[in-house]
Structure 1
Amino acid sequence: MKIEKLPKTIESVYVRRYRVVASQEQIEHHAQNMRTQKQLWNFGNKYLEKTYGRKHLNRPYPNNKKQKNYVINAIKTMFINEKHNLNRWNAKIVGLHSQGANEFLKTLLINFGEYRKSLYRASKMTAQEKLDYLNNVYGNNSQRRSWYQKGSLNYLHLHNSFMTVSLPNNNQVEVVSNHHIKIQDYGELQVVENISNLRNSTIVITKLKRKNNGQFELQLVFKRQIVRVEPTTKVAGDWNMTNNKVFHTSNDEEIYISNNVVTKADTLERQINDMKSKRDRSVWLGVNSRRIARMNDKIKYLNIKRENVLDEHYKQLAHILMDDYDVVVIEDLNSMNMRTKKRRTRNINHKLAMIKPHRMTKFIEMLANSTGKTLIKVDAYKTSQVEYGTAHEEKHDTSIREWVSTFTDKLINRDLNASWNILAWGLNPEHHIKLKDYPHLKASSLVTIN
């Protein structure tokens, strides 16, 4: 799709959180919801493994709304028939609203779909590679799990459970007063904050979460339409891992993560590791002892603090990348597919802990959607290997940042060349080099546009 023909508006989705004063009845109702969700997760996970697991990788996985609804309804029907001997969903007997079950199973389908991608890649391993993985030859499988368990979804046992129930609006959400809101299945909730400003807002999903401290939190998912900015100025950014550089743009701009932020994050990480080491050495303490609980709380607090430090800086970096442009093109990456299995990349993996492409991309997406700017994510296939403007490929070690082309005799800057390819292929995916190697692919499958 040409950017000139994109929809005139962009859908912006965002979340706001409010503290809830829950009644005893609502607390008990939420606990019942969590028990049912735990059962439904294990049941649905087992069904998906049998239907779309390692023995059925050639079976098409549901990827549109109609197909997903079919699978969700099938799981629900079998669940109530097997667990409660029902032919029709009854929320009072099952312990979960039907709409809540739908939202819950949508999440399960998404998560299983991600696992299935890992499963498909693992299925291509040779018999020897599978055996080496099982025997932990390369130190990447300390639990000695089988190849088909890489990235698999865990079954919930004992006290493991979910904390949140999600319910769609269905015209049931109503702001009753400054501190009371009515939501589906729970009736009126009392919130601490003043919510009078939400009366005319479009709330699409409500989420009620029980936090670890026993307090409840109401998460409201809002949706609004933003007018798309005329796509005039364009830029691409190449993800980078060299010397704390996050992006190298097609305009030869370099965006770095702040040294102060790196220092703060490293300090917090050392504190976290020291606290973990202290906890692990305290072998004489019981798992449920107060001292262990205090250490776990401290570790959790430091992790949250570190995440907040990085998140705030990610937001600033997103503005630096996007503020001066109407269209931004980046590679469609996450931390997992930037890591390698070799031990020599430990320093790269440490930088990925500092610069999380998936998390950073979320902030870029949120900024693009809230400001009406166009964000294009393009397949990262060979962006650094192909010389811009040609089909010539040269593969160099990542430590080599510049080289002289054997095709044109030009001096090639690895990052700048990659950003030019990202921009060109993002705007015109039909020119993407991947179509040369995989001609059966559709050009539209190589880009994602907000």
Structure 2
Amino acid sequence: MLVNKAYQFRLYPTQEQERQIAKTIGCSRFVFNHFLAKWNDTYKETGKGLTYRACSAQLPQLKQELSWLKEVDSIAIQSSLKHLADSFSRFFKKQNGKPRFKSKKNPIQSYTTKQTNGNISIVGNQIKLPKLGLVRFAKSREVVGRILRATIRRNPSGKYFISILAKTDIQPLEKTESAIGIDLGITDFAILSDGQKVDNHRFTAKMEKKLKREQRKLSRRALHAKNNGIDLLDAKNYQKQKCKVARLHEQVMNQRADFLNKLSTDIIKNHDLICIEDLHTKGMLRNRKLAKSISDVSWSSFVKKLQYKADWYGKTVIKVDKWFPSSQLCSECGHRDGKKSLDIRDWTCPTCYTYHDRDVNASKNILAEGLSVHASA
């Protein structure tokens, strides 16, 4: 099956290449903001916005007026127009909010370029990019398939990354004739219906003490710069500390992503049918006592990874309704005797006298309900 697969690598540009990347990001941002302002003005005057084609037709004239736009990758500038048009399309479909002006103060800065006539290619441990030439990168794996586009990104930590989107042929995995139910939790990240419990590593909590210390330093340096009338963009000590804090956050993010990828891949490889509760994470985050812990475990990211990997490899993910009382039913006889509060972690069924671990029992009920939904589909 042909799918669009993303590969991410760290880039190691030279100083000259860094300047060119910054220039391209700046030009892409300028073009986006310029046409967003025009789009808004046209809408106020006529009641109708512009189109991608209309903006694209005005771009050559803008380049004539502003010659510095010719110094960067033309496809990157064209892509920023496409992103603007796509943002408005999603806005009118009520899929996201109204497009906003981009700022150079945003922590993550990026631009996208497309593959045309071999302008993006991998040569050994270097990647060829428009206007940049050959850039050294950490080639951790081979890029399989036809390259479609690349996004170059500068993180708040000062590191550069490239995301390559390629059209790849992925073969389905062998069938295992196995089904599993998964109950997601906070004490244990995932509890499987076979009794296995996956530890919640609490990546943010483990780094919290260090993060607090470094963020206090950042606040003090910001206050010092303000008292001395120095703009934060020009305050070198503040910017150094800002990068240090960003690196800590990046480390937490990388640890979590690595854990979720390995776990989701392992589950997909070993099971054909995965039954999981369709959690309403946004609603659960309103609980102030649990919001921090729920954000740290990243349930929604895990479910997304399970879903796209199942689609790739010919497996099935069944989402059980969020109102299904998985924790309240006995997985042996189906008895339900009222709602059990969260502090009850184990219980004995008064009908069949089976002793239950609350979470393992819930995962078994999720599996049974998922199999029932799959059979009736």
2:220 aligned with 1:275: no
> CA 1:26 to 1:315, structure 2 compared with 1: closer, same or farther past 3 Å?
closer
Query: Of the candidates 287, 292, 297, which is equivalent to residue 243 of structure 2?
Result: 297
The match for 1:378 is 319
Q: Report the equivalent of 2:194.
A: 251
308, 312, 316: which one pairs with 2:258? Answer: 312
Deviation at residue 226 of structure 1 after TM alignment: 2.1
Let me know the Cα RMSD of the aligned residues: 4.6
Deviations 1:365-397 (A, max 9, x none): 576567x25251515422335746979795433
Shift of 1:191: 1.6
Task: State whether structure 2 residue 62 is matched by structure 1 residue 93.
Answer: yes
- 1:285 matched to 2:225? The reply is yes
2:26 match = 31
1:154: how far off? Answer: 7.9
Cα distance, 1:44–1:400 mapped onto 2, change above 3 Å: farther
After TM superposition, list the pairs within 5 Å mapping 1:225-240 onto structure 2. 225-229=169-173, 230=175, 232-240=177-185
Q: C-alpha distance in 2, partners of 1:45/1:425?
A: 50
Please point out which of 2, 7, 14 is paired with 1:15: 7
CA shift at 1:424, angstroms? 4.2
Aligned length: 346
- For residue 338 of structure 1, what is the aligned residue in structure 2? 284
Deviation of 1:414 (Å): 4.0
What is the CA deviation profile of residues 215-248 of structure 1, one whole-angstrom value per residue up to 9, with x for unaligned ones? Answer: 764321223222223261111211112xx30112
Letter in 1 for 2:199: Y
CA shift in 2, pair 1:328/1:219, >3 Å: same
Q: What residue number does 2:52 align with?
A: 76
Q: 1:354 aligns with which of 270, 290, 296?
A: 296
In structure 1, C-alpha distance between the alignment counterparts of 2:214 and 2:143, rounded to whole Å: 46
- Whether the aligned pair in 1 keeps the contact of 2:157 and 2:243 (CA below 8 Å) is no
Counterpart in 1 of 2:73? none
Q: TM-score, normalised by structure 1?
A: 0.60
- Deviation per residue, 1:239-261 (Å, 9 max, x gap): 112xx30112122322223xxx5
* Whole-angstrom CA distance in 2 between matches of 1:334 and 1:108: 27
Give the gaps of 5 or more residues in structure 2: 64-68, 70-75
For the structure 1 residues 392 and 354, does the alpha-carbon distance in structure 2 shift closer, same or farther, using more than 3 Å as the test? same
Amino acid in structure 1 at the alignment position of 2:239 = A
Residue identity in the other structure for 2:300: H
In structure 2, how many angstroms separate the alpha carbons of the residues matched to 1:10 and 1:231? 23
Say whether the 8 Å CA contact 1:100–1:168 is kept in structure 2: no
Q: In 2, Cα distance between the equivalents of 1:336 and 1:377?
A: 20
Conserved 8 A contact 2:158-2:243 = no
Q: What CA deviation, in whole Å up to 9, does each residue of 1:43-78 have, x standing for no partner? A: 779999xxxxxxxxxxxxxxxxxxxxxx9x954357
Q: Could you tell me the percent identity over the aligned residues?
A: 13
